[in-house]
Amino acid sequence: MTFDSSFLLSIVTFAYLAASLAYICLLVFKTKFFGPAGTVLTLITLAAHTGAIIWRWVESYQLGIGHAPFSNLYESLIFFAWAITFLYQIMERIYKNHVIGAFVMPLAFLSLAYAGLQPKEIHPLVPALKSNWLIAHVITCFLAYAGFAVSAGLALILLLPRGRESISNLASRLPATGTLDSLIYQNIAFGFILLTAGIITGSIWAQQAWGSYWSWDPKETWSLVTWLVYAAVLHARMVKGWAGKRMAVMSLIGFASVLFTYFGVNLILSGLHSYAT
């Protein structure tokens, strides 16, 4: 086994698992120590993760086919995990609550674990993928997906039954419903802006590459569905005052649509975005 960026990423995967466990321990046992431990572990791992992405970029240049590491399912999953961790860390800095990590960091771990199952070779880019709009498209879309992922994690916390005996002990450590509600909304708003930017950059790229900014390809259509769902969520909140549990449920529905856009379309439907083949 050579020590390359993929190897470093498999270490990063296990480090995220450890960080997730630390956050979960904080939730289950009251020991304060686990909070900062999870944070420190996550931050170190995030640095290594960033390094590994840059390393993979360099490796592609060493192969003489240099391109940004955002070109296949493996690379997109790595960036997805990076974006989730990055967003979560920002949130943790602002809200100083470590417990949320127990619900968010496992998502980063799962994304990397799934990446571990994908082919890892660096392939030269087909001509259609050689575009700076592609880089903008992938970065915006996956930051959006990360925002929606974090909001779904928060939604799960909000939906935990708080009244019960077994949970009430946990509940004392969970953020207040009001805080969760506003965090869910902020992450959805963040995701909505970036998804808008992602669809727009994707359209511009499609117009340049294929001469058509919109062609109702299944992946495009599903991203529009996701966008419509979150637009509905924003209106329901802004104008109808939806909040709390309703927002949480809508956030989970929206995230289900994200997951289908990301994975389901590749597995079940076919189209231009044949990441996973």
Partner 1 sequence: MGNKTPTDQVIDFFASVKLALTLLIILAIASIAGTFVPQTLSPGEALQRYGPQLTSFFYYLDLFDMYHSWWFNILLGFLLLNLIVCSFNRFPKTLKLARTVSGERVKPGFLKKQPFSFQILRPGSPQDNLAPVREEIKRGFSKPREKATTWGILLLTQKGAFSRFGAYVIHSSLIFILIGSLIGHYRGFNAFLNLAEGQTTNQVILKNSGEIALPFEVRLDRFHLKRYPSGAPSEYRSDLTIIENNRVVRKASVKVNHPFTYRGVTFYQHSYDSLPADGWGLRLIRKTDNKAFDLQVTPNRPNMLPDRSGTFLVLDYAQDLGRSGPAVRLLVRMNKTKDYAVWVFKNPFQLINYNPRYRTGLQANKDPGIWFIWTGFGLMLAGCLITFFFSHQKLYLGLIPEGNNTRVIIGGSAHRNQGSFKIKFDKLTEILNSNPSESKDLKT
The DSSP letter of residue 126 is P
Distance (Å) of CA 135 to CA 40, 69, 130, 151, 261: 30, 9, 9, 24, 18
Binding site for partner 1 (CB under 8 A): 64-65, 123-128, 130-131, 182, 189-190, 192-193, 196-197, 200, 203-205, 207-214, 216, 218, 221-222, 224-225, 228-229, 231-232, 235-236, 238-240, 265, 269
CB distance 78 to 53 below 8 Å:
yes
Of residues 11 and 234, the one with the C-beta less far from ligand HEM: 234
The interface partner of residue 209, options being ligand HEM, partner 1, none and the CB cut-off 5 to 8 Å by kind, is partner 1
The interface partner of residue 265, options being partner 1, ligand HEM, none and the CB cut-off 5 to 8 Å by kind, is partner 1
Cα–Cα distance, 80 to 78 (Å, whole number): 5
Amino acid at 169: N
Cα–Cα distance, 82 to 143 (Å, whole number): 9
Report, in Å, the least distance between residue 106 CB and partner 1. 27
Token pair recorded at residue 207: 């117009």
The interface partner of residue 167, options being ligand HEM, partner 1, none and the CB cut-off 5 to 8 Å by kind, is none
Site string for ligand HEM, 202-241 (x = CB under 6 A): -----------------------------x--xx--xx--
Report, in Å, the least distance between residue 233 CB and ligand HEM. 9
Cα–Cα distance, 99 to 38 (Å, whole number): 10
Cα–Cα distance, 20 to 101 (Å, whole number): 7
Binding footprint of ligand HEM on the chain (CB under 6 A): 231, 234-235, 238-239
